[in-house]
Amino acid sequence: MREWTEEEKNRFLESPDQIRELYKKVRRSDFRQTYHIQPVTGLLNDPNGFLHANGEWHLFYQWYPYGAEHGLKHWYHVVSKDLVNWNNCGLAIAPDKWYDNGGAFSGSALVMDGKLYLYYTGIHTGDDGVVPYTCLAELFQGSYRVHKKDEPLFGPQEGYTHNQRDPKIIKLASDRYVIILGAQNDAHQGRVIVYESRRPDRGFKFKGEINVPGFMDFGDMWECPSIQKISGYDVLMFCPQHITLKYRGQSQNHNGYIIGSMDWDELVFTPVGQFHELDFGFDAYAAECAARKRSWSETTLISWMGIPDATYPTDGEEWSGCLTLPRNLRVRNRRLIQEPLAELAALRDDEADPLLEILPKACELNVYNQEEDLELHLFTKYDHSGGISICYDSKTKILTVDRSEMTLTFNNDDGNVRTRKLDGGLDHLRIFIDSSSVEIFVNNGDAVFTSRVFPLDNEHYFQMKTRAEVHIWKLKNAVCDDFIV
């Protein structure tokens, strides 16, 4: 197995100067966010290692520092006291060991004995091809210093392709830990495989794959799996790939969940319903969950505001990606409800005039439907042409979000229209707008539409064509965009 050369090691020592120059270019972008986590440079994608420890929320994300492409992956670290205001802590994991010379891919974290265990997929590339390893690093609280183990926890399992990744650590008891991985079997079917140990830092042995009756031929790869206890149910979340789903256009990458019950001894997840999308918008993937406190059943979710195999207008500016706002989760009527955090109200500035025609660059809209139908247009030009339309038809009970009239369109092959049927009708929309994104929460979290948008200078008007009560707040800057590598 090949060790890194001195030249390869040195480029990580030299990279801050290179990244600093790139940062000067990136920060001039008109599309930099004001209250969403985003990369200092390069590409951000999957959130990782999301948890609460010693009064701080820790969050990591996959990061390629040198451009808007899926290159050699690192982990970047951000922290928060309140899940609203975030600070950059810098590089956490660099791919500098023999077992991760092809990149440090997604994973999760566990807090134990005053330190964070970071579990991730290390990709080894060499004469033997692409080999995935499940790896462990330790982060010491306070110093944010990361120590990587000399050897991985375990290597790939026979019977599956090299697509074995995204370890999720789950503590079942004080002496029982499991790691689940997304995998693809040799027949190219998506699977979740399980390893178990009596300790969190060693001794993991392959136990088998989880049987999910009715879903064993559902996409050819399952990425980013997790099993969360929410409102008394077990919730299996994962990202099935290379499958088309109703109302998702031609998109081949999805993020969703199944509610049911998990038997860890028999490795059977028994569904009590169907597969549901987590988000009905265009750009949400790789959801990561964390408990608010150990004693609470409340769970918070955050996702990559993007999708695989896609391009975005900021790619030419050498950066791409951001994360969604955190959402609180609960189960109601066998569906997940996603509600914006109550803490987000701290972002509000003075309430603006509800008759204001120009959208602030960062704002929150609350729309209370007063008629059976609703028609709202965001990011229009001065004459109210173009933009995103949000329309509700009371006869069909279908809410439609259409971004096809924006000047800067992208990923058009996946479609620019998304819909959701609202069996109980439409009462309320809570809409969070940032410089290059919009998140639409429907009926206090019954459905969410998340989308990247890239409005030009003349696309900041809005129009309400039906009668509704509208409240608008300007939102303050809450994400630290300083340069820390």
pLDDT tens digits for range 125-160: 998 899 999 999 999 877 778 999 999 999 999 999
Domain shared by 384 and 451, yes or no:
yes
- Whether 12 shows a pLDDT value over 60: the answer reads no
Share of the chain above pLDDT 70, in %: 95
pLDDT tens digits for range 47-90: 999 999 888 999 999 999 999 999 999 999 999 999 999 999 99
- Range(s) of the domain holding residue 87: 6-340
**Structural domain includes residue 449:** yes
- pLDDT band for position 5 (cuts 50, 70, 90): very low
**Structural domain includes residue 425:** yes
Domain shared by 217 and 184, yes or no:
yes
Domain shared by 351 and 334, yes or no:
no
- pLDDT band for position 353 (cuts 50, 70, 90): low
Catalytic option among 46, 100, 220, 234: 46
Burial of 213 (0-12, 13-18, 19+ CB in 10 A): exposed
Domain shared by 323 and 367, yes or no:
no
Domain shared by 327 and 374, yes or no:
no
- Whether 9 shows a pLDDT value over 50: the answer reads no
- Whether 246 shows a pLDDT value over 90: the answer reads no
Query: Closest Cα to residue 319, out of 40, 37, 90?
Result: 40
**Structural domain includes residue 482:** no
**Structural domain includes residue 330:** yes
- pLDDT band for position 3 (cuts 50, 70, 90): very low
Domain C-terminal end among 293, 318, 340: 340
CATH number of 436's domain: 2.60.120.560
**Structural domain includes residue 480:** no
User: DSSP readout, 344-398?
Assistant: GGGGEEEEEPTT--BPPSSEEEEEEE-SSSEEEEEEE-TTS-SEEEEEEETTTTE
Average pLDDT in the 292-310 region? 82
pLDDT value of position 297:
58
Domain shared by 107 and 22, yes or no:
yes
pLDDT value of position 142:
72
pLDDT tens digits for range 463-478: 999 989 999 999 999 8
* pLDDT, greater one: 210 or 249: 210
Q: How many domains does the chain have?
A: 2
pLDDT value of position 295:
45
- pLDDT band for position 14 (cuts 50, 70, 90): low
**Structural domain includes residue 435:** yes
Mean pLDDT taken over the chain: 92
Domain shared by 310 and 380, yes or no:
no
Domain shared by 325 and 433, yes or no:
no
Average pLDDT in the 226-241 region? 95
- Whether 336 shows a pLDDT value over 70: the answer reads yes
CA distance 154 to 252: 30
Average pLDDT in the 311-317 region? 96
Domain shared by 110 and 135, yes or no:
yes
Domain shared by 271 and 404, yes or no:
no
Average pLDDT in the 318-324 region? 97
> Which residues are within 8 A (CB) of 164 and not within 5 positions of it... i.e. 6 or more apart?
121, 132, 156, 157, 181, 182, 183, 184, 193
Residue 175 a catalytic site member: no
Domain shared by 360 and 321, yes or no:
no
**Structural domain includes residue 399:** yes
Q: pTM for the complete prediction?
A: 0.94
- Whether 6 shows a pLDDT value over 60: the answer reads no
pLDDT value of position 18:
82
Burial of 67 (0-12, 13-18, 19+ CB in 10 A): middle
Average pLDDT in the 420-425 region? 94
Domain C-terminal end among 280, 307, 340: 340
CA distance 366 to 469: 8
Domain C-terminal end among 271, 306, 340: 340
**Structural domain includes residue 272:** yes
34-38, 253-257, 401-405, 481-485: the lowest-pLDDT one = 481-485
Domain shared by 170 and 256, yes or no:
yes
pLDDT tens digits for range 80-107: 999 999 999 999 999 999 999 999 999 9
CATH number of 53's domain: 2.115.10.20
